[in-house]
Structure 1
Amino acid sequence: MKLRVALRVFVASLARRRLATALSVLAIALGVALGLAVNIIHASALDEFGRGMRLLAGESDLQAVGPRGGFDEAAYVRLAQAPEVAEASPVLEIEARLVGREGSLRLYGIDVFRVAGTTPRLLPGSDEGTGRLAILEPHRVFLSAAARAELGLETGDALEVLSGLDRRTFTVSGGVPAAAQGEAFGVLDIAAAQDGFGRVGMLTRVDLRLTPGVSVATARERLSPSLPAGVELRTPDEGVDQAARLSRAYRVNMSMLAAIALLTGGFLVFSAQWLAVVRRRALFAFLRALGMTRGEVVRGLVLEGAAVGLVGGLIGVGLAHGFAGAAFALVGADLGAGLLSASEPQVSFRLLPASAHLALGIMVGAFGAWLPAREAVRRAPARALRAGDEVEAYRGRPRGAAAALCAALAVAACFVPPVAGLPIAGYAAVALMLASVVLVLPTVVARVAAVLSVSSGIVARLARVRLSAAPGQAVVAGAGVVASVALAVAMAVMVSSFRVSLDDWLTRVLPADVYVRASPSAQSGFLPSAAVGRVASLVQVASVIPLRYDTVRADDGGLPMTLIARPAEDGAALPLVEQVNAEGPAAWLSEAAADLLGVAPGERVTLPLAGAEHTFTVGGVWRDYARQHGAIVIELDEWRRITGDERTNDLGVLFAPGVAAEEGRAAIVDAFDGAPVELTDPASIRATSLEIFDRTFLVTWLMEAVAVAIGLFGIVTTFAALSLARAREFGVLRHLGLERRRIGSLLAIEGGVTALAGVTSGVAGGFAIAAILIYVINRQSFHWSMDPAVPWAMIAVFALGLVALAALAARLAGARAMRRDAVLAVKEDW
């Protein structure tokens, strides 16, 4: 069959079904747009982040990196003297809180005599004509162009930052000419950085350029044994890979939501194409009688669906770039883990992902038309040309065995472990459960329609006979509703469970009346032990809870985990989900840390602290919704014994009985004698956290609302088409004395029963999918557990409202068919 003939006979019919075609295009466009937008946002942010890392890494072949708090600079000496190393440059990176301003600024302490050999882009340039050696003066700082613009500072201006509770003032003395555009940071002498921020003798990384002929693998093998515990060698690109791994779970789950929206669009294409096929059965039979083969008819109809997918995909690609630009402007580039939140990428067109998502849209459209295409050629031409034969298309066959098989496979998939940290089998289980729910729909329709037999009314009996004889009608009309309701209910249960569990977790981890900190940065923002002692001695204070934060690399090649040193009270201060009586020093692992390290309560875990390895017994596993990459808690006294570090990052304060919050806060402020500290009460932290949670899932709710609306529109278009196809039937009924009003009631009952069957199946399937989301996908993606919480009232109102809307929509959709004169309606039968 020639393409021109196919376009005239098949694709041209899409223009005659404008509403159904437009809705199908819209559904596919939204699915493609959301999926591609997630890809654009993440890829652009990661490229920007990686570009900055590579530019700042300069010509380094390897970097020695350790915990956030740094490591002993003696490691630098050993690396610089190694024969495998041609150039070594020490770096101390500080995230310094700005005085009198919101936010912080990254400062790099460098050795100006060594940095040129590895990281020349960090070399400063003086505006005062004193040359680069001006950096050796301890009060000077050199800012990148982006930092100057962001802070509004020029040469000679003062830059004030905090070191603990003390102010440090630096003079802006020039710029960093080779700095990456858009990277806001400053450089200063490494000795000034160490002294000014209380990090004497400490480094955060060492940049290495290897001796010619020495490979990265060889250098790692020879140099790693000389490094302190917890310090590893990595290439600059591996740092970018870590950023991708941290945000991967968020990105994949958002992509799966987009795929779900695209799947709903596929159901709508299926419904629209099935109705179009049924209405054109006689045409296809005539074409086959003239010599067109079955394959040509199938290919022509699949081409129709592909055309819908092509148009929807093209629109979706355009929308995706608009969505990505809006996301960058409104919420930034971060897709989780917070690592990319500082990136400021630009939207750029990427041919490969755009082409892939366009192809996906075409495939969904084509697949949605494939089943109706098979129906178009199933009947013999002679029978298809017979008047009234279209009802055969709605007979439907029970699919109980297939539905049971899909459900069984879904359950089996739930026990498959993740692949590369992603719940691939969990997503397959969701798809299989959706298929099971759709396949069982004809059986559910028959059961729901049987309820109408209790009524003696003629309209209810007619509706029951129609639905019992043609349950496939409900499948065509309700497939989109089943999918969208199942997913909406599943998301409602999962989000409700997550929110309730998060609220309870916040209550458990925020026991104090107020929290005090010098800065969000754990490196430069700390409270000296003397200040903590002054607060603890206040008469308004009953007790204090000091917390110290650092990072630790507990497994080779793994992501750095957060280390929290605090009074743990043998685990009683933590939201434990598992606990044992530990012998010796204990560590309590978050669920993510326990999963990533593969250890259970009672087993041993080795942590590199202060440059040496220390063994702890896992005293329990606790719930943590803040750190997907894992967190480990040890007793504060044990931390101080090992490291000698007496500083505190956050200080929880419990007021004495009878002390009002205002009185206690005022006393704390006085104890710090005007030092710039932040005081936050748990209620504010909880409110802010829940607000962020609700904002995070707003996009999810909007996507689900779109899916449900599309499913409802599917009922409208289906019953509008069915009403036109049944014009002769309605004409006969009117000749027999049935008023137009009662025919409208008949359609409303059929629409309501169809929606009720779809909603019933969808709600049941939604609970099953919610279980998969809670116990499989979230557990394998983010290593979070949560307590199930079902929003019964919301689901009930949603279900009843959808049934009522479907009944009304079916009634309104049939109005056009009922306008036709009864004589003309039956004339076609003669």
Structure 2
Amino acid sequence: MGGALRHVFIASLRRRRLATVLSLLAIALGVALGLAVQLIHNAALAEFERGVRILAGEADLQVSGARGGFDDALFLQLAAHPGVAEASPVVEVHAALPGREGSLRVLGVDVFRLAGVQPALLPAADGEAGMLAALAPGRIFLSPAAAAWLALEAGDALAVQSGVHEHTLTVSGSVPAAGAGQVLAVMDIAAAQQLFERIGVLTRVDLRLAEGASPVQLRRELTALLPAGVFVEVPQLALSEAATMSRAYRVNLSMLALIALLTGGFLVFSTQLLAVARRRQEFAFLRALGLPRGMLYRGLLLEGAVLGLAGGVLGALLGHVLAVLALRLVGGDLGAGYFDGMRPALHFDALLTLSFVALGVGAGLAGSWLPARSAATLPAARALRAGDDALLHMRPRWQGVVVCALGALLSAALPPFAGMPLGGYLAVACILATAVLLLPQATRLVMRLPGSPRALLWRLARARSHAAPGQAVVAAVGVLASVALASAMAIMVSSFRTSVDDWLTRMLPADLYVQASPSAASGFLDQDALRRIAALPGVAQVQPIRAEQVRLRSGGAPLTLLAREVGGGWGLPLVAGSLSTGEAELPPAWVSEAVVDVHGLATGALIELPLGGQWHAFRVAGVWRDYARQHGAVVIELETYRAISGDRRANDAALVVHPGVDVAVVATALADAFGENMLRVATPGEIRALSLRIFDRSFVVTYLMEAVAVLIGLCGVATTFAALATARRREFGMLRHLGLTRAQIGRLLALEGALATALGVAGGLLAGGAVAWVLVEVVNRQSFHWSMDISVPFAMLAVFAAALIVLAALAARIAGAQAMRQSAVQAVREDW
């Protein structure tokens, strides 16, 4: 293609600046959001991988269990094995920090064994040998990232919490080789066990194999020595687990970004189709001058590719900016909690960036394909006739409708692939395609509805839409896509929020809740603390709750074990089974929906839990709904847990006060008894309000994407009718000759815009309802293993639909104003 011809096609983008800019921005938004999610996740995984390498050091194998740890007597057996050259014990504690948000990852290590297995964790102290300094009581060494986060230097004091007591440690140096993004601290293992009341407990042992030892054979031999719930694994397995745990969250965000990119593709389609309709005579002249069909086709595709390339490049720049901002504000897990304790740094990934730029080009090409094909196949003689708008005479493709509808049904029934709801995403795409393909027929059906015979403008608008339904399709397709996305997300979020609200109400029956620290941190309530709470004036009942982690298999995500009273009004939001167990042969357990999906354990099944170093069998008595723990939770009776494990500590306590007692008075008494920063005390209403606030904040990005998608749809209506008004100047001129005023033509355009938008809104709401069902019943269930009760915000959707139609009518009226400024005589001269 020569330079002159390229100029002909590329110059078209400059002439329709508004449509070009809007299409470019739509593509850029989708590219930016998708790229930002991938960049952030890659940075987090890279930092996590560095952390795994640093913590594992030269270890070939790791022996680890759940967070609670295992008996340190096992260390002697592991170290004495002839296949083990070096063994390094570790006690890992997430220390609660009184007066600060978050917790600090503290590694209790044997400094004399670090050099042979984990040299990167060796502490360094100014003026004295690091190893000897680490042995002194009350000493702690911070990684550079931890020191920056805590704003502490050598010699400063750091307060940590153990149980309901505060202890002060002295920052004696650093862990210089820990890595720039690793937020952790190192101290002597004996001091850590004593400080955090973990005497006789280890959480991990890192092993370096003897020369010539077989890792496979050694794993088999060591497994025979391990207690229940403790496994021997390669260090790299932790990286695979982290990637798997965060994959669903990342993929869902990426799909949301791609939907925005799809909306941009629809906008490219509508603007390109209208541009082709307006330029049909220009193309006919080029064809008459000898331009081959294929070159015309490639030229129009070039326009879409240039549009997509510009949007992709702009989106890549915006994506990097968004990634940097997100890493600073919410960290590498986008607030989801998968990569706590890290400060990942963003790195430029050329291949990933180019792939997303290519996605932008693909969106531009996809949007331009059908208009380019239509223009290339239109006979030149027919296109030269003034007033011919065959491109806008679209008819429904019934074969495509049937294929897409069946595809949606079949895809929604597919099981997850590698833990991802790919069938659900395919079903969403098929639903949108079905709705778009049905638009021409829906337009004809609606336009057959009777109207007032005296309503001249209504008859004109209806006749136009019935004669050229493609016009309504082009105007409505962007609206349909954006409304479908917005309404589907609104229904899903409403369903989620309503279900979470109901779940919180059922899970919080007490008057007051007390927490020593988040369940993963070092605070806890021992028997003495529980007795002191029960003795406070106004407290009628104290129900302890113990939260621990258990692992059912090697390589699997840990489950949360909750030991609490289940009967007597302290029930669970069951979706299957019952709380009444009768005289059961085995003690009962109630599992969350995630356990059913991941481990295949339904009501009546046998589940074995590692407690006290032994496997203990329980019978699944019911399945309950849990929105707090994505990877699954198991509830057993508190007394059963204490009898088996001997652990009488609690993480939380639910308090019932005497009738007439003000809970604020009890809360004040708790603060006076234990100190301001030792306990977190909240009423059910406060917990519910905070949880819903966090819930709403977590969907801010979703709301913004919905708003942008709707704005793009409105802009699509405006650009569509601006282009149509320009193409229909002769028609408007003839109407002026027949007696219509400019104001009436303006109202006609507004009415046509309202009709087209109403079709798009109606189709979008219907498609959005179907998409919402897929999101709730397929995508969320397969991604996060949550069930929800469908809740449709009818009032909000009705107001939204009405406002969108009114705004679209105004946009069409304003956009067509330029075409009505031409005189009636000049407008019809082209026909002669």
TM-score (norm 2): 0.96
1:104 and 1:579 mapped to 2: Cα distance?
Answer: 37
2:170 and 2:329 mapped to 1: Cα distance?
Answer: 34
Q: Deviations over 1:43-89 (max 9, x none)?
A: 11221222123212211122111110111112222221222221110
Aligned residue in 2 for 1:286: 285
Flag the 1:674–1:443 CA change in 2: closer, same or farther, 3 A: closer
2:6 and 2:450 mapped to 1: Cα distance?
Answer: 45
Report matched runs for 1:401-550 at 5 Å: 401-451=399-449, 453-550=451-548
Superposition deviation, residue 565 in structure 1: 1.0
Flag the 1:749–1:615 CA change in 2: closer, same or farther, 3 A: same
Superposition deviation, residue 738 in structure 1: 1.2
Report matched runs for 1:649-728 at 5 Å: 649-672=651-674, 676-728=678-730
Flag the 1:194–1:637 CA change in 2: closer, same or farther, 3 A: same
- Asked if the contact 1:128/1:174 (under 8 Å) is kept, the reply is no
2:721 and 2:703 mapped to 1: Cα distance?
Answer: 27
1:460 and 1:601 mapped to 2: Cα distance?
Answer: 61
Report matched runs for 1:120-519 at 5 Å: 120-129=119-128, 132-335=131-334, 337-390=336-389, 392-451=390-449, 453-519=451-517
Letter in 1 for 2:696: D
- The answer on 1:823 being equivalent to 2:822 is no
- Asked if the contact 1:288/1:381 (under 8 Å) is kept, the reply is yes
Indicate the larger mover: 812-821 or 238-247. Answer: 238-247
Aligned residue in 2 for 1:772: 774
Aligned residue in 1 for 2:784: 782
- Asked if the contact 1:589/1:618 (under 8 Å) is kept, the reply is yes
- Asked if the contact 1:122/1:187 (under 8 Å) is kept, the reply is yes
Match of 2:732 among 727, 730, 733: 730
Superposition deviation, residue 42 in structure 1: 1.1
2:345 and 2:3 mapped to 1: Cα distance?
Answer: 42
Flag the 1:790–1:673 CA change in 2: closer, same or farther, 3 A: closer
Flag the 1:523–1:673 CA change in 2: closer, same or farther, 3 A: closer
Flag the 1:452–1:8 CA change in 2: closer, same or farther, 3 A: farther
Q: Deviations over 1:668-716 (max 9, x none)?
A: 3455488832212222221111111111111111111111111111111
Superposition deviation, residue 604 in structure 1: 0.5
Letter in 1 for 2:572: L
- Asked if the contact 1:140/1:188 (under 8 Å) is kept, the reply is yes
Letter in 2 for 1:704: E
Report matched runs for 1:28-67 at 5 Å: 28-67=27-66
Flag the 1:495–1:675 CA change in 2: closer, same or farther, 3 A: closer
2:245 and 2:561 mapped to 1: Cα distance?
Answer: 17
Indicate the larger mover: 419-428 or 125-134. Answer: 125-134
Aligned residue in 2 for 1:589: 591
Superposition deviation, residue 571 in structure 1: 9.5
Aligned residue in 1 for 2:22: 23
Stretches of structure 2 that go unaligned for 5 or more consecutive residues are: none
Letter in 1 for 2:788: M
Indicate the larger mover: 394-403 or 761-770. Answer: 394-403
Letter in 2 for 1:395: H
Q: Deviations over 1:550-598 (max 9, x none)?
A: 1111233211111111111289611111114653211111111221111
2:542 and 2:590 mapped to 1: Cα distance?
Answer: 21
2:280 and 2:98 mapped to 1: Cα distance?
Answer: 76
Letter in 2 for 1:458: L
Note the aligned Cα RMSD (angstroms). Answer: 1.9
Q: Deviations over 1:464-497 (max 9, x none)?
A: 1111100011111111111111111111100001
Superposition deviation, residue 155 in structure 1: 4.1
Flag the 1:101–1:34 CA change in 2: closer, same or farther, 3 A: closer
Superposition deviation, residue 780 in structure 1: 0.5
1:122 and 1:271 mapped to 2: Cα distance?
Answer: 59
Indicate the larger mover: 374-383 or 795-804. Answer: 374-383
1:593 and 1:61 mapped to 2: Cα distance?
Answer: 31
- Asked if the contact 1:579/1:601 (under 8 Å) is kept, the reply is yes
Indicate the larger mover: 75-84 or 685-694. Answer: 75-84
Letter in 2 for 1:504: D
Letter in 2 for 1:282: Q
1:258 and 1:571 mapped to 2: Cα distance?
Answer: 44
1:502 and 1:577 mapped to 2: Cα distance?
Answer: 14
Indicate the larger mover: 91-100 or 363-372. Answer: 91-100
2:678 and 2:455 mapped to 1: Cα distance?
Answer: 78
- Asked if the contact 1:437/1:765 (under 8 Å) is kept, the reply is yes
2:340 and 2:195 mapped to 1: Cα distance?
Answer: 27
Letter in 1 for 2:592: S
1:59 and 1:510 mapped to 2: Cα distance?
Answer: 47
Flag the 1:355–1:382 CA change in 2: closer, same or farther, 3 A: same
4+ residue runs over 6 A deviation: none
Letter in 2 for 1:224: T
Flag the 1:161–1:103 CA change in 2: closer, same or farther, 3 A: same
Letter in 1 for 2:407: L
- Asked if the contact 1:68/1:523 (under 8 Å) is kept, the reply is no
Letter in 1 for 2:704: L
Letter in 2 for 1:136: L
- Asked if the contact 2:89/2:110 (under 8 Å) is kept, the reply is yes
Aligned residue in 2 for 1:579: 577
Flag the 1:336–1:632 CA change in 2: closer, same or farther, 3 A: farther
Superposition deviation, residue 722 in structure 1: 0.6
Superposition deviation, residue 393 in structure 1: 1.6
Q: Deviations over 1:108-155 (max 9, x none)?
A: 111122221111122223334255233333333333344344444444
Indicate the larger mover: 609-618 or 232-241. Answer: 232-241
Indicate the larger mover: 107-116 or 558-567. Answer: 107-116
1:664 and 1:318 mapped to 2: Cα distance?
Answer: 54
- Asked if the contact 2:183/2:343 (under 8 Å) is kept, the reply is no
1:699 and 1:161 mapped to 2: Cα distance?
Answer: 35
Indicate the larger mover: 741-750 or 133-142. Answer: 133-142
1:278 and 1:131 mapped to 2: Cα distance?
Answer: 78
Superposition deviation, residue 666 in structure 1: 3.1
Q: Deviations over 1:156-209 (max 9, x none)?
A: 444332211223333333333433234333222212211222111110101111
Flag the 1:441–1:299 CA change in 2: closer, same or farther, 3 A: same
Aligned residue in 2 for 1:113: 112
Flag the 1:733–1:511 CA change in 2: closer, same or farther, 3 A: same
- The answer on 1:79 being equivalent to 2:78 is yes
Letter in 1 for 2:356: H
- Asked if the contact 1:571/1:619 (under 8 Å) is kept, the reply is no
1:494 and 1:146 mapped to 2: Cα distance?
Answer: 39
Flag the 1:760–1:112 CA change in 2: closer, same or farther, 3 A: same
- Asked if the contact 1:715/1:751 (under 8 Å) is kept, the reply is yes
- Asked if the contact 1:549/1:563 (under 8 Å) is kept, the reply is yes
Letter in 1 for 2:177: A
Aligned residue in 1 for 2:619: 617
Q: Deviations over 1:762-785 (max 9, x none)?
A: 111111111111101000010001
